[in-house]
Structure 1
Amino acid sequence: MASYTDDLRLAHLMADNADSIATNRFRAQDLRVETKPDRTAVSDADKAVEEALRRTLATARPRDAVHGEEMADTGYGPRQWVLDPIDGTANYVRGVPVWATLIALMVEGRVKVGVVSAPLLGRRWWAAEGEGAFVGKTLLKGTPIHVSGVGSVEDAFLSYSSVGGWIAAGRGQGFVDLLRDADRTRGFGDFWSYMLVAEGAVDMACEPELALHDKAALDVIVREAGGRFTDIDGVDGPHGPGAIATNGRLHAALVERLRPPVSEQGADS
């Protein structure tokens, strides 16, 4: 198996830089915020972080492709870095400290390295394929993490982002039933839901609408913690619609509960 230790170290260095830039602009009086065509917010901090990450990669990994949220794709080939400069921009611009930089390396479409850095939570999560998942403040001071052993939805803790997206996806009733049946539910949202699954503090997390940059880093961390990460139809990896992450034992049940009704499936075909 190939080693990605050097790539993981580079991702940590990039996360250090991102933390510095984003933290310095957090709650800045002159923070500039725009609305993108998809009606989501982007701040000057988002752009500055992604520009800094791309500059580092242009020097350290000039042959690698790069896909980011705020700038056009560059390069081509089997190795591609996937960047979300600030996951949780809506929180960031409102002064809520729950946001993070997501950095991932994919090789031939599979995520091999992931780092999620949330400086105002004082936490960073990371993983390289085959080497386990960790939480801590630096690469040298990490604690191994692992998913929970909960085996039924009725005993499980569910984290989610919102209800409206599931209704729009034609899966609202299944999601509402899930909220009713799960033992405990909280809307942590964004990256945090999935990192809590990886830590074993939450048993399952799901969102109906996510892009590759939202998911790539989360995928390998959940997998290396012993869990499973798929799209909302149960296809492994970060490429399909939305995301479902669980401790593995709950995955099939969760995917089944969130399937659209047969009438909706027929309408889509």
Structure 2
Amino acid sequence: MTGYADDLALAHLLADRADAIATSRFRALDLRVEAKPDLTPVSDADTAVEREIRALLAEHRPADGLLGEEYGAQPASDADGRRWIVDPIDGTKNFVRGVPVWATLIALFDADRPVVGVVSAPALGRRWWASLGAGAYAGPGPAAGERIGVSAVRRLADASFCYSSLTGWERAGRLDAMLDLMRASWRSRAYGDFYGYMLLAEGALDVMVEPELSLWDMAALVPIITEAGGTVTDLAGRPAPAGAPGTESSLVATNGVLHADILTRLDRPAEH
């Protein structure tokens, strides 16, 4: 048990409630979907899940801050206090199309670092979780979890390489480097969203990279990957996420052994 055991238990409760709401709306004929200002979709399930999580946190952790994708930031009562980071449904595009790869992401920041992470994917029957110093686990739920760990693959030629899409890398001027990475890898697949990172934490693949993510997209992933023995930074090699709301960051996650090689390869400038 660690100092964050009670917070992890609460995060599981939040995930249980989120699972119940989201599952009831998944593939519902009357699901309502709208476009946000950035033209990404939001469903009535996204908003209902975040409202429920906010209500539970107001009851159980009223002094803590909160940042959610749909309803923004609520400051902590203490300027240097703890805050929860929530993505009610990561993979909304999958959710609204009936693809079962989506999850609720719940993280706790303390002293501006992620110390608890829960990723719950009820349509897959799978949940991943971790708290600082207590290891990373996966299974149907906390009563039936097994400890997980990253792979020991040491060469890119033997590695399974994962990414979300190529369009963001093209915008970032690193498409050539990405394509070279894919060619140099044993296998490359675009699983996308939370799923590639959780497969990395389980040791099923070895590298997952994305050029642009919001804080709520990555906060819950970091404790799980690092407690599983992996390494997570941005493209410059700085620990990620930095924790600043409203900003985007790149994310490079590996089994640790491959990390320096991946950063070096992605740093190659575009050819013209």
TM-score strictly above 0.5: yes
Please say if 1:86 is aligned against 2:80. no
State the one-letter code of the partner of 2:249.
P
Structure 1 residues 69 and 260, CA gap change in structure 2 (3 angstroms): farther
Deviations 1:151-203 (A, max 9, x none): 11111001111011101011111001011110001111100000000000000
State the one-letter code of the partner of 1:137.
P
- TM-fit CA distance, 1:232: 2.2
- Of 240, 258, 264, which residue of structure 2 is paired with 1:256? 264
Name the residue aligned to 2:28: 28
Name the residue aligned to 1:187: 190
2:2–2:133 Cα contact (<8 Å) kept: no
Provide the secondary structure at the position in 2 that maps to 1:201: coil
Structure 1 residue ranges without an equivalent (≥5): 265-269
Name the residue aligned to 1:231: 234
Structure 1 residues 126 and 2, CA gap change in structure 2 (3 angstroms): closer
Separation in structure 2 between the aligned mates of residue 199 and residue 5 of structure 1, nearest angstrom = 21
Structure 1 residues 263 and 182, CA gap change in structure 2 (3 angstroms): closer
Separation in structure 1 between the aligned mates of residue 150 and residue 132 of structure 2, nearest angstrom = 16
Give the TM-score taking structure 2 as reference length. Answer: 0.94
Name the residue aligned to 1:38: 38
Name the residue aligned to 1:267: none
Deviations 1:62-121 (A, max 9, x none): 000000100021122320100000000000001100000000000121000000000011
Separation in structure 2 between the aligned mates of residue 2 and residue 125 of structure 1, nearest angstrom = 18
Name the residue aligned to 1:153: 156
Name the residue aligned to 1:208: 211
Separation in structure 2 between the aligned mates of residue 137 and residue 262 of structure 1, nearest angstrom = 43
Please say if 1:246 is aligned against 2:249. no
State the one-letter code of the partner of 1:247.
N
- Of 109, 117, 120, which residue of structure 2 is paired with 1:117? 120
Separation in structure 1 between the aligned mates of residue 115 and residue 263 of structure 2, nearest angstrom = 24
Provide the secondary structure at the position in 1 that maps to 2:143: coil
Give the TM-score taking structure 1 as reference length. Answer: 0.95
Structure 2 residue ranges without an equivalent (≥5): 243-247
Separation in structure 2 between the aligned mates of residue 229 and residue 217 of structure 1, nearest angstrom = 12
- TM-fit CA distance, 1:140: 2.4
Structure 1 residues 172 and 263, CA gap change in structure 2 (3 angstroms): closer
Q: Which moved more, 1:164-173 or 1:229-238?
A: 229-238
Equivalent residue pairs, number = 264
2:86–2:106 Cα contact (<8 Å) kept: yes
Percent identity over the alignment is 55
Name the residue aligned to 2:13: 13
Structure 1 residues 183 and 263, CA gap change in structure 2 (3 angstroms): closer
Name the residue aligned to 1:64: 64
Separation in structure 2 between the aligned mates of residue 237 and residue 167 of structure 1, nearest angstrom = 22
State the one-letter code of the partner of 2:188.
T
